[in-house]
Structure 1
Amino acid sequence: MIGRLTGTLAEKSPPQVLVDVNGVGYELDVPMSSFYHLPGLGERVTLLTHFVVREDAQLLYGFLTHEERATFRQLVRISGIGPRTALAILSGLSVAELAQAVSLQESGRLVKVPGIGKKTAERLLLELKGKLGDALAAPAAVAGGAQGDILQALLALGYNDREAAAALKALPPDIGVSDGIKAALKALAR
């Protein structure tokens, strides 16, 4: 398997790049999130890779971060999600945004990605739940004890993560869960 390439960036044509590794040019498809952070032409680049062998093609996908590659690999394990669709998802959403959408079960974010319909988005949310490091995306994982419970209650009531986090900041840190929920709802009603 080809796990990583280090060489000179020879060509950039979204979403494909050509990396020259000691005279051998490797064509890689990269998500736009990686593409925008690539160095200029002629500069050295290191890309983590995922190699796909099919009957009719051998394809190489490149990523700047371990998180992107791991998320890509998690996506292609899902029935009906191929490498192109996984690349489109990572081009439309960052890993953190995808993890947040999964933890908050927001299919609306996924439907905005070209090629993802409502049914596919719901299947993605179901399949990825608990697999994308939800702790990174969910503010509730950062908040402990009563604060986390209050946040979860607000999210369950339909408030988005920004509204819920803003309401939490206005609460005293030692407030109880039921009193905190009441105070947060009063703050959000204003």
Structure 2
Amino acid sequence: MNKNQERSFIATMKTNHGNLHLPKITYGKTTLIKKLDYDTWSFDANMDISSYLCVKTDAPANQIKFYFDCIDDYYSIYLLTDGLYHRYALSNENQDFISAFRYDHEQTTYNLLDGNGQIVTLDQINTDTPVLRIQTRGGRTLSARGNTKVGSLVCTGKVSARPLDFKFEILSRGAA
């Protein structure tokens, strides 16, 4: 794997469905919702989504900066926050939903896709405000699922969901 600092960058993002946020940062407490796939036979009807990446129209804008660390043509995405979850990685290690996890070598990596569905890296993006889609290394497009009190949950789209268009504001190119 070839790390490529020239293709790495820091950005904020919004989506076509609203602003990105983490409930624990937004509300300052543990956030529980009813499981989206609630099964009456399960023991717990609620799920803790405090560290899940969510999208909501009235969530605070630019709550999180994202560091896109390029390796070949894939990106590891890290959170840059003012405290909680700082330098955590976005991953879906345990399930369909995207959440903040401490760094490890098994975390999810992503591709950036242009409007034609082609993989692009920073050196192919000639504006600081591109609109891109993000997909996992396994080819699943990041999407929004559910309609909860914290908005929709960002997921990999394994279950029916609405694909997200990410509106980037690139703040720093070639970031380390």
Greater helix fraction, Structure 1 or Structure 2: 1
Q: TM-score, normalised by structure 1?
A: 0.23
Q: Which has the higher strand share?
A: 2
Q: Which has the higher contact order (CA 8 A, sep 6+)?
A: 2
> TM-score, structure 2 length as denominator?
0.24
